[in-house]
Homo-oligomer: A and B are copies of this chain.
Amino acid sequence: MEKSALSPAFNQGLRQIVYEKLKEAIVLGSIKPGSKLSEIELAEQMAVSRTPVREAIRQLAQTGLVTLTPRRGAYVTMPSLKDASDLYELRTELEILAVENLCSFPPSDELRRYRSVFEIMTDETSTERYVIEDRAFHFMIYQSCTNRFLTMMLNNIADLINLCRPFSVERSAITDFTLGHLAIIDAILTGKTTKAKEETRKHITISKESLLSYLKSRSTEDQEYIK
């Protein structure tokens, strides 16, 4: 009997399947930061034994999405404000490097596609739609790197930053971000490497400021709430 392409996930191994599922749940926010990841519970939910669950959790811990405390269990990481700042510091330099790489072999078709997407975005665009396209755009940049380590690290950092941001973007910032994207795209398409790098730094710096000020306001709100 031939093996269906839809059969047990093309036999990539249970561990990998569990890993993907867990990661998606964490990144999409259906498992919230701070939640405990119980081996037994997850194993039952996914109808597998504890072993692949355990290995998937440890793999997630290596990427930083999960924090382990020995003999106590695994918890979805809650990045601190400093973590967010530190992550952006890295992302800035690494993404500039990625853009620089891109300028040698620009994926012109993809870039033009995103150009047309961002061109028609206005303040009336829904924030959800913006967030989706924004992530896809940066993800595209990461995948286009010829440096596989750079790709890995940027994807990793993006996931961690995701954990800090409860999906919200200030409406007023969208126009800024969109213009930033267009500036980066145009600079790459016209072969202006230096300009592309500058615009990337600007864009990510603005993004960083936006997130940090948002997080700061949230944290003071929370403190009031606790009182």
Contacts and interface: CB of A to CB of B under 8 A. Distances in A.
A146 B82 CA distance: 10
A104 to B, nearest CB: 12
Chain A, interface SS category:
helix
Contact of A93 (B13, B94, B157): B94
B150 A90 contact: yes
Nearest to A85: B147
A96 B83 CA distance: 19
Contacts of A89: 97, 147, 150
Interface residues of A, number: 26
A97 B90 contact: yes
A90 B149 contact: yes
Contacts of A157: 149
Contacts of A12: 70
A12 B70 CA distance: 8
